[in-house]
Amino acid sequence: YRLIFIALLIGTSCSSSESPNESVAIVAAEEQSGKVEVVDSNEFEKLMKAEGVTLIDVRTDGEVAEGIIPGAIQIDISDFSDFEKKINNLNKDGKILVYCKVGGRSARAAQYLEQNGFREVYDLKGGYLAWEEAGKQIEIPNK
């Protein structure tokens, strides 16, 4: 009998301390926040064709002058206060595609977007260089 009592005592003390309402709130919060998906250039190109997509190039003016993915808007992440201001004007429920030169800055940008309520964020694996290497379309902006 002593073993049964100890087993019951351990079983009840190890049960979850969350109330049912707390569990529901946690699940709801997890569903509201998005998740960043890192995709290759082929998948990125497919996503670009969807309705209501925002394509963001987070590189500097000098980098963009050498070429940009058609349809992209430049929001340079190196000027973070300007980046933050411009990002907050975007639709948080739409698809956001982001890229930089090789993937580091866009990963930070994508994480920032996800943490600030954007639901669908996609980051181009390998960045602009991978896009260019795959032979995808680029354009040189007018100077």
Residues with catalytic roles: 100
Q: Could you tell me where the DSSP H helices lie in the chain?
A: 2-13, 20-32, 41-48, 61-65, 80-87, 104-115, 127-133
How many helices (H) and strands (E) the chain has is answered by: 7, 5
Distances from the Cα of 6 to the Cα of 9, 17, 30, 90, 138, angstroms: 5, 19, 36, 57, 69
Residue type present at position 95: K
